[in-house]
Amino acid sequence: MPAISYTPSPTGWSVLVHGGVLLAIDLPATSERTAALWTLVLDGSSPGVILDQIVSSGLTSAPDFVLVGATQTAATTVLVRGDAVVTIADGVAGRTISGVGVSSWVEQVVDTVLGFDIRLSNAANDERGVPLLSGVAIASGLRVGIATASSAGTAPLAAAPPAAPAPIPAPVPVPIVAPATVAVPEPEPELAPEPAVEPEPAPVIEPEPEPESEPEPTPEPDPVPERQLAPPPPPPPPAPEAPVAASRPGMISAPPPSSTVPAVAEASGYDHLFGATVFREVEDAAVRTVADAPPPPAPASPAFPAPAPSLPAPDELVDGDPDDRTVVMADIAALRAQRRAARGAATPEVPAGPSFYLELSTGGRENLDQTLVIGRAPSATRVPGGSVPRLVSMNTPNQDISRTHVQISSDGGTVVVTDLHSSNGTAIVLPGRPSQKLRPGEPAAVIVGTIIDLGDGATLTVCEAS
Amino acid sequence: MGAGQEYTWTLPFARVTFDVSSATDTGLVRKVNEDSLLAVPPLFLVADGMGGHAAGDVASQETARILLSRLPEGRPTTSAVIIESISQANDAVRELTGDEFSGTTLSGVALVQDDVGLSLHWMAFNVGDSRVYSWDGTTLVQVSVDHSAVQEMVDEGLISADEAAVHPDRNVITRAIGIGTVLNPDVWLLPAGGPQGFVICSDGLTKELDDRAIEEVLTLALTDQSAADRLVAAALASGGSDNISVVVLRASVDAVAAPHAAVDESDALPAHLQETLPRI
């Protein structure tokens, strides 16, 4: 078995590792049952034999566990009972196995697995972890073959030293990538970031023309072929004054062609031809029709026409920044907060809504703590930075679901499903109701217990966390 | 591969190569280069400062510096880190420039992983009117959508894309770093796998060259210049009215198979791509 590291936790599960077998089980490490299992693991017993021992006292009293071992066909078998989540690294997309909602256990055979991330509790696994070759540990999680375990702190992933792969006692019977491939450091010099990268010091106030964070020489006045080697031009003279901004609050524009700013090159009179970039709030731009747009007084002003008349009067909301839409939004939020406060502290805080998760037919669960986009190889297109969805890949036998198939979000206690114009569509089955096909792009609210069918055997079940 | 910088990462289950070239030029008209760029795997960006009085430089430099400072070394970052550092840059630029109105655009691409570290995506992000294009060796496709007045008008159906290129308000942008207290960049997440290319540029390039012209320059490698240098030279030749900054990235993310199934290097690219990929 490749490098294993575990996240120690006094309240964690017992983790038994020897030879090609890994067993994590929700039992005290000192219990007799654990001791019996350890004997089996030490003997090199097959997963089937170990499983027999785990369920020997009956299925209902069997503890939760994760068992990873080799099959006779040299593939890797993964068995999960209970809440543990096993994420498989089988290339660039991860998939998960979990026993949530299954009364016995989930078994999957994987043949190109490269590593596992095994979460025995809700906590994320420590990337560094503690290496484990063989023995019993108490852990809240494990990472197998994912070579981030390292005391090197910020060392690059690829440079992480192998967690002592050499002395592993038994030959690795599973086609997991040998430690040599997974963890061997590749001390390539290119890994070092480029020079000229100077993260810390000196806020740059002076008009130094060469951005300090730029990895290569910057601005050159003339495009001679060897300009990369030529020294940068001297910094331009600092601009003498700042009346432009003062005279046009809220607007970012090139300096006007005023004679008072002779030192600033952009004001050289070419701006009426090319125009400096200016900033204007989005509504101001959006509501204007072509017919309404006043012709630019091009030669006279490099900036756009004064926006004041077309603006609403949000000034009572704004402090000195009337053009700035986001300031307006922030102030509206502040006003609302004030109003809420004025209504009195008697208004109770809205209790946190229920938390939902999805059970995937391919194994595993996904919490709906953020919007999920699910498909064969999902992507996200033009989403706001404040609500980037989590992308979840599902592998189905015939690759019949769309790359980006369905979006599921939880908002204020409601789970909302939206088919993202998938080729074969999405159906929902509410408990006790016939299946119903979603209209593409139209959000549909669903209740707990609903099954979301993506086709090709891929389903998602909406569950509520207890 | 021209004058590009090459990097290779060996991640636990993927091998990533970056071949990147970058270039920036003040142009023929302006006297100050207010653009900044960054080409340090896994992050590639262009920031186009504005505001005059050299405040534009400060805004774009500070933004690039902050994003760089949050980068991990030798491995992918996460979308959360990028979003946070953009927000941090917004605060820093507001603070630095004080009452003087200045800001910067920001467009870029980062290789990001999920919180378990098992799936890789290209994250494109945008604020303002610099651009991210994808480039597959033959076709240039604009990924980002400008935050500009003319783009709003195009979206509303008021003008056509061609009219936008000559519209008097074409230099009005509607979102920028350093302008408001809250900033929401647009984000795209594209599955990372196989060879993929990106062109990131300030509007100094796209004002001079339309998409077809950029494609042509990328495809025709008649000199040893890097792709970024060729694009800057072409923009200068068409007028160079503004600062021009370009980052051209050609990357490949290949799943690392088990040792017995090691991928032959020559099979890494599909044949049709091997033939048509430009020398960048």
Q: Is the ipTM of this complex over 0.85?
A: no
pLDDT of residue A184: 38
Q: What mean pLDDT do residues B152-175 have?
A: 90
State the pLDDT confidence band at A350, using cuts at 50, 70 and 90: low
Lowest mean pLDDT across A19-33, A81-95, A317-331, B18-32: A317-331
pLDDT the model gives residue A72: 65
Predicted pLDDT at A123: 75
Centre a 10 Å sphere on the Cβ of residue A49 and count the other Cβ atoms it contains.
Answer: 13
Distance CA A272, CA A269 (A): 7
pLDDT > 90 fraction of chain A, expressed in percent and rounded: 20
pLDDT at A258 over 50: no
Specify the pTM: 0.56
The verdict on B154 touching A (C-beta cutoff 8 Å) is no
Min CA distance, B255 vs chain A (Å)?
Answer: 5
The partner residue sitting opposite B12, judged by closest CB among A89, A190, A377, is A89
Q: With bands split at pLDDT 50, 70 and 90, how would you rate the model's confidence at B249?
A: very high
Q: What is the mean pLDDT of residues A56-60?
A: 79
Bigger pLDDT: B248 vs A223:
B248
CB proximity A386 to B under 8 Å: yes
pLDDT of the residue at B246: 97
**Which residues from B are below 8 Å from A261, CB to CB?**
52
| pLDDT > 90? residue B210 | yes
Between B181 and A272, the more confident residue is B181
Is B228 in contact with A214 (CB distance < 8 Å)?
no
Q: Transcribe A149-189 into DSSP letters.
A: --TTTT--GGGPPPSS-TT-SS---S-SPPHHHHH-----G
- Is pLDDT at B263 greater than 80 in this prediction? no
- pLDDT at position A93, please? 62
Number of other CB atoms surrounding residue A28 within 10 Å: 13
Specify which of A191-200, A219-228, A331-340, B77-86 reaches the highest per-range mean pLDDT: B77-86
State the Cα–Cα distance between residues B273 and A465, nearest whole angstrom: 48
Give all strands of the β-sheet with B194-201 in edge-to-edge order. Answer: B5-10, B14-25, B244-255, B194-201, B131-135, B140-142
Nearest by Cα to A406 from A368, A441, A433, A363: A441
Q: Spell out which residues of chain A touch residue B69, defining contact as CB-CB under 8 Å.
A: 199-200
B-facing residues of A in 284-303 (CB < 8 A) are 284-286, 288-290, 293, 295-296, 298
Cβ contact (<8 Å) for A158 and B10?
yes
Those of residues 191-210 in B touching chain A at CB distance below 8 A are 191-193, 203, 207
Q: Residue A306: its chain B contacts at CB < 8 A?
A: none
- Inter-chain touch A383–B187, beta carbons under 8 Å: yes
Neighbours of A114 (CB within 10 A): 26
The region of weakest confidence among A340-344, A398-402, B264-268 is B264-268
- Asked if the model's pLDDT at residue B261 lies above 70, the reply is no
In order of A111, A113, B127, B204, B255, the CA distances from A75 in angstroms are 5, 9, 47, 55, 19
- Match 């030879």 to its residue by tokens: A19
Lowest mean pLDDT among A229-238, A337-346, A457-466, B144-153: A229-238
Lowest average pLDDT, out of A96-105, A177-186, A230-239, B122-131, goes to: A177-186
Mean pLDDT of A415-434: 94
pLDDT at B214: 96
Does A44 have pLDDT greater than 70?
yes
The answer, for B38 touching chain A at a CB cutoff of 8 Å, is yes
Min mean pLDDT across A114-123, A145-154, B34-43 is at A145-154
pLDDT tops 70 at residue B52: no
Closest partner CB to A87 (pick from B79, B116, B172): B116
Determine the residue of chain B that is closest to A328 in CA distance: B180
Higher pLDDT, B20 or A258: B20
Query: How close, in Å, is residue A237 to chain B by CA atoms?
Result: 9
Q: Is A276 on the interface with B (CB under 8 A)?
A: yes
Task: Supply φ then ψ for residue A141, to 5 degrees.
Answer: 180, 165
In degrees and rounded to multiples of 5, residue B257 shows phi and psi of -85, 170
Tens digit of pLDDT for each residue in A156-191? 333 333 344 434 444 444 443 333 333 334 444 443
